[in-house]
Structure 1
Amino acid sequence: MIEKLKSLCVVSIAAIVTIVPFTQPSFAEKKPELMVKTKSGKVAGKAQGDVRVFLGIPFAQPPVGPLRWKPPVPAAKWHGVRQATEFGPRCMQSKLYADMVFRDPGTSEDCLTLNVWTPAADKNAKLPVMVWIYGGGFLGGSSSEPRQDGTDLAKDGVVVVSMSYRLGIFGFFAHPALAAESPQKAAGNYGFLDQTAAMAWVQKNIAAFGGDPAKVTIFGESAGSFSVSSQMASPLAKGLFIRAIGESGGAFSSGGLPYKALADAESQGSNFATTVLSATTLEQLRAIPAQQLLDAAAKPPPGVRFAPDVDGYFLPESVPAIFAAKKQNDVPLLAGWNRDEGGINEKITLELFKADLDKQFGSESAELLRLYSATSDADVVRAAADLASDRFIAFSTWKWLEAAVADGSQPVYRYRFDLVTPADPNHPGGIAAYHSSEIPYVFGALDLLQGYNWRPEDYKMSEIMRKYWTNFAKTGDPNGDTLPKWPNYKADSGWEVMHLSPDPAAEPDRNRDRYLFLDKVWGK
């Protein structure tokens, strides 16, 4: 870890000698202002070392009653000072993911709050801002997870913001009656609109926390990364950010998280309303208790999945179509995925792998077998892990990167996270760079997680990733700080990929032929 300089004071009866290093003022030299005035009212935060923390700040009115399934409405003003020292409730969700640990008071439909971590002692610092969007399949997640704590990331000279957004049936339910009452004739994507509203709040308020609204980077993982690609595509987010980081996922294929056409989403919602909820009007639907709605969507297992749609408003067209027409928010992009997104099946055999390829790809299976380099039981474990990763997350992220290069004018950087993380309660084998395993490294939050035996290489990896990420947020280029050179992702440099490990190195994409072939098969 990079050692922070500290002021050293030597005190004696005869004299006071103070030795001060040449650095910017810290909280040790200037008392932090823990009360900040936002456009809605004053908030009082807390200090965590050299970082000021403000939690659970409302950015929208509670989306309940008549505001259920409507675009978020800016938060009402309050009088006095609002305490901002505890996380707000997480948005309505079932317990879906064993690796998610929360520090909030529980679930509620009244959940549209955000959090700010700032190293700035006052509002004049004008620091770059990083706005985090959590993942969870658009079904779960919360900004209160310890692995997403912004304290250490903020110490690298950025203001960190994270928000909650509506999920599942509350965030992505579409119905013909909702489209009919909408001025834009749109339905669904309320979770996306929450994200956009939080970014709009940042534009209006972050200067009071020492952030620069003209230097906002959005970043997210899994569904949060899909969200980043969607915000890049949406005209509603224009001007709200100038850089984007995607960790594992992009809205560019029909694989893991497909986006429906509006008519299909409305049909799904209408059928669900009448057959499951026995409701035919919006009044009836909005009167159903939140927990009853959540339970109904979860039965029978695995339940009904309400996901984003191409609503004609937030997304006028599909995300790929918007990029192809060069209508996206054209900003520098840093994106990639983890080596083992789909996990590792150590019991797979070459025979089983061939059968899987035959089932999926038919006459194309022989070429896929060659491209995945599967020739024996010894190497088929790696091949199967790579195929699972591509099917789940990697291919869609690759498509996003390719579109950003082909249809944009800004620099693009690609990575793969290769560090095999130590065993943990959810992955006792400790044999892979799993989906989402990079998150605590990015945030510098390793020591906030329980059940891990972190190694020196883990702390080194975290320092490297924090520097690359915050450099990108500051300048649009991850390079600097004596870090290994991270080249642009483009044809004339061999489509180089930064392999992130404790000793990171860039090399030409060794799997490009594979992705080009998958594009012919999956991109049809």
Structure 2
Amino acid sequence: MKLIPALIACVIVCNAAIAQGFSDSEPRVKTANGIVEGVNSSGISIFKGMPYAAPPVGPLRWREPQAVKSWTGIRKADRFGSRAMQTQVFGDMVFRSDSISEDCLYLNVWTPAKSPSDRLPVLVYFYGGGFVAGDGSEPRYDGENMARKGIVSVTVNYRLGIFGFYAHPGLSKESTHQGSGNYGLMDQAAALQWVNKNIAAFGGDPSKVTIAGESAGSISVSAQMASPLSKGLFARAIGESGSVLGTLSAVPLSVGEQRGVEFAKTTGVSALEDLRKIPADKLLALAATFNPFRFPITVDGRFFPKDPFEIFRQGEQAKVPLLAGWNSQEMSYQALVGNEKPTVESYKKAVQKAYGENATEVLQVYQAASDQQVEQVATDLAGDRFIGFSTWKWISMHRKAGSKQVYRYLYARPRPALRKGKPDATDKGAVHSAEIEYAMGNLPLNNVFDWQPEDYKVSVILQTYFVNFISTGDPNGFGLPLWPDVGTSENVNLMVIDSDTKLIQDKNAARYNLLDRMLKK
């Protein structure tokens, strides 16, 4: 780790070298649909709110994304487009878009390119939020710092909740593929098509596109890997906590359709024509009452021609380098034992309630021999069942399919205390989503936490791994601990990202194999 100061110095020098961007103070780019005019931020050209599909409103509600209507003249691209329809579900989300609308299919580009001939690597980032919330304008996903590392960065808005994942027998009947749902995932695929056609004009290389995301964004990455709609549109993939192989997994179309019928009954109308006429804000409120999480991903016959598990099992997914992992405290022990004091007795009762006939085996693998061990063991189990296992399953299945470049991490840096005037943070590990600002180099854009020099050190390490991987498909580079791929043994190589970043051999295969057996997929 002695080379880390040199690495930081190199990053600063490299930033200064590339921070020129397009020479215009108001940069203009000709896209396939017309000219856009962005803004310049100290050498980084920024284009916000560019449409990649037609507004999915009126008769286009619950349809595949349609082509953008071209425009004449110059379209201003200096403001974020409207975020997708959503309620306030997560308290850590901060939006810079100034409106919410069903008309939400816009993306943003940050580029350091001096000309379209630069052919720089590209990052397309999908936000998290359980497919019910999130926005490409959130500061933690801001692409400017990545652009200063030589990466053309893109964030994408996609439809959420009832608008993005509603399935119904009538919708299936009217579609060309006799399926429905997954509109939000189709939006992402349409955005990748836009990137493929247009990113060269922004100085990006369409053959060097990396898709990445956290939580629902990570699930999206795994979904795009499995879908024929995105075939050939990206060269690498990064997943931060979660996959469609165990977290928010796809359900049979009939299940999604049945839930759609149940929801329609709560609206007082049944005809699709009438459902499409319900104002967006009223439809959102009705869905929130019904339960926004009840509109699942479906095996719709188009985005997913069959179950994603089967696609990965047969090795039909995109064979691209994959860098993926999860955090050390994805879920707290309270998610398992509730408000009970963490004792061996309360832990056993909670496991028995959660796993029934499998409880004995679970207690043998996730074993707490004393009250003092319960908190950590319960945290491990809660995190695994929430999102750790599905990420492991993705990595495991992709490795078995023959991909030689699969890199796995465990992010373990706890966030620091909250800033003065707020209570101290009590996290003992890295909680869900804690790594995003570190990976994207955006600690200064989050003023909630009292970032310390060690946090910036960790951010440099993690972001540099990401930049290297986005650039070459390999995270390794100058000044970083060597990160080999997972290998072929049961105890895989695992990079622990923390103030003392180091490679270890993972010894927890028994945990994931147990959950895998119980999944029965």
Deviation at 1:28, TM superposition (A): 9.0
Instruction: Report the counterpart of residue 497 of structure 1 in structure 2.
Output: 494
1:33–1:122 Cα contact (<8 Å) kept: no
Which structure features the higher share of helix residues? 2
Instruction: Report the counterpart of residue 474 of structure 2 in structure 1.
Output: 477
Instruction: Report the counterpart of residue 70 of structure 1 in structure 2.
Output: 63
Give structure 1 stretches of 5+ with no counterpart. 8-20
Q: Deviations over 1:161-199 (max 9, x none)?
A: 011000000000011111111111120000000000000
User: What's the TM-score, normalizing by structure 2?
Assistant: 0.93
User: What's the TM-score, normalizing by structure 1?
Assistant: 0.92
Deviation at 1:272, TM superposition (A): 1.4
Compared with structure 1, are the counterparts of its residues 303 and 27 closer, same or farther at alpha carbon in structure 2 (3 Å cutoff)? closer
Alignment of 1:127-276 (within 5 A): 127-253=120-246, 256-273=247-264, 275-276=265-266
Compared with structure 1, are the counterparts of its residues 427 and 472 closer, same or farther at alpha carbon in structure 2 (3 Å cutoff)? farther
Compared with structure 1, are the counterparts of its residues 475 and 4 closer, same or farther at alpha carbon in structure 2 (3 Å cutoff)? closer
2:86–2:284 Cα contact (<8 Å) kept: yes
Q: Deviations over 1:81-100 (max 9, x none)?
A: 11111111100000000011
Give structure 2 stretches of 5+ with no counterpart. 1-6
Indicate the larger mover: 32-41 or 275-284.
Answer: 32-41
Q: Does 1:452 align with 2:473?
A: no
Tell me the C-alpha RMSD between the 2 structures.
2.2
1:467–1:481 Cα contact (<8 Å) kept: no
Q: Does 1:278 align with 2:268?
A: yes
2:491–2:507 Cα contact (<8 Å) kept: no
Q: Work out the CA distance in 1 between the residues paired with 2:295 and 2:427.
A: 33
What secondary structure sits across from 2:311 in the alignment? Answer: helix
Q: Does 1:101 align with 2:88?
A: no
Q: Work out the CA distance in 1 between the residues paired with 2:229 and 2:489.
A: 34
Q: Work out the CA distance in 2 between the residues paired with 1:97 and 1:23.
A: 37
2:32–2:197 Cα contact (<8 Å) kept: yes
Compared with structure 1, are the counterparts of its residues 248 and 161 closer, same or farther at alpha carbon in structure 2 (3 Å cutoff)? same
1:156–1:466 Cα contact (<8 Å) kept: no
Give 2:425's match in structure 1, choosing from 422, 425, 428.
428
1:357–1:368 Cα contact (<8 Å) kept: yes
1:464–1:502 Cα contact (<8 Å) kept: no
Q: Work out the CA distance in 1 between the residues paired with 2:86 and 2:245.
A: 26
Q: Does 1:311 align with 2:300?
A: yes
Instruction: Report the counterpart of residue 299 of structure 1 in structure 2.
Output: 289
Q: Which residue identity does 1:483 align to in structure 2?
A: L
2:21–2:115 Cα contact (<8 Å) kept: no
Instruction: Report the counterpart of residue 403 of structure 1 in structure 2.
Output: 397
1:128–1:212 Cα contact (<8 Å) kept: yes
Instruction: Report the counterpart of residue 47 of structure 1 in structure 2.
Output: 40
Q: Does 1:112 align with 2:109?
A: no
Give 1:418's match in structure 2, choosing from 394, 401, 412.
412
Deviation at 1:3, TM superposition (A): 4.0
2:21–2:113 Cα contact (<8 Å) kept: no
Give 1:361's match in structure 2, choosing from 344, 355, 360.
355
Deviation at 1:104, TM superposition (A): 0.5
Deviation at 1:401, TM superposition (A): 0.5
Compared with structure 1, are the counterparts of its residues 285 and 484 closer, same or farther at alpha carbon in structure 2 (3 Å cutoff)? same
Instruction: Report the counterpart of residue 370 of structure 2 in structure 1.
Output: 376
Give 1:390's match in structure 2, choosing from 363, 370, 384.
384
1:333–1:410 Cα contact (<8 Å) kept: no
Once the two structures are aligned, what percentage of the paired residues are identical? 48
